[in-house]
């Protein structure tokens, strides 16, 4: 009887092991690992002339303490392209109040209005400086950033943000990014 039991266990292990080794789920799309690791973004604008914005993206994280002693977890995204004809830069701060750990996966919204200093807010603050569209910078008015994967050196997500400049011109930006840690 013990001999048959050992054979059964051995046979079961041989059948189960291939499933264990082949069932690893990766955040990377097959065949696209290199582009993801490099830290790239692909965004489109929906102004009068739709544009494709591409470039390098990096992120950093921090835990900050407000003047009132409340912890804020912050992710900073820096997106830029330094090509002469398509030069642009964008930045986004994602902040969550009373959170003393790094931010996790989730959907983060642009707040209706940021009260006080930019250091003490919860949600998304963003800006875009796109030479092709004009000299004035745009600031986030509405929308959200969705973080789908957070790893030690990689952050994957998407964004759909409505920005506005001081003249009232609106700019909608949406797309995906894969940021590498600074």
Neighbouring CB atoms inside 10 A of 17's CB total 10
Neighbouring CB atoms inside 10 A of 93's CB total 19
Do 80 and 126 form a contact (C-beta atoms < 8 A)? no
Q: Which bin fits 134, alpha (ψ -120 to 50), beta or left (φ > 0)?
A: left
At residue 34, the 3 state secondary structure works out as: helix
How is the chain split into domains, by residue range?
30-181
Tens-binned pLDDT, residue by residue, of the chain (182 aa): 577 767 766 756 566 555 555 554 444 444 444 444 479 999 999 866 788 899 999 999 998 887 788 888 899 999 999 876 778 999 999 998 876 677 889 999 998 666 545 556 789 999 999 888 888 999 999 999 999 999 999 999 999 999 999 999 999 999 999 999 98
Q: Which helix (H) or strand (E) holds 104?
A: none
User: What are 30's two structure tokens?
Assistant: 């097959």
């Amino acid at each position: 009887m013990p001999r048959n039991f050992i054979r059964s266990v051995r046979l079961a292990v041989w059948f189960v092991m291939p499933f264990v080794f082949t069932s690893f789920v990766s955040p990377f799309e097959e065949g696209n690992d290199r582009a993801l690791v490099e830290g790239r973004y692909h965004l489109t604008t929906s102004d009068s002339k739709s544009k494709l914005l591409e470039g390098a993206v990096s992120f950093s994280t921090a835990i900050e303490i407000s003047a009132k002693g409340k912890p804020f977890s912050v992710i900073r995204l820096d997106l830029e392209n330094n090509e002469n004809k398509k030069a642009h830069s964008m930045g986004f701060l994602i902040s969550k109040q009373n959170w003393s750990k790094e931010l996790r996966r989730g959907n983060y919204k642009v707040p209706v209005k940021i009260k006080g200093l930019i250091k003490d807010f919860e949600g998304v603050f963003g800006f875009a400086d796109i030479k092709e569209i004009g000299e004035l910078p745009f600031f986030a008015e509405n929308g959200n950033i969705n973080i789908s994967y957070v790893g030690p050196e990689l952050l994957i997500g998407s964004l759909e943000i409505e920005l506005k400049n001081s003249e009232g011109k609106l700019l909608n930006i949406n797309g995906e990014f894969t940021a590498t840690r600074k």
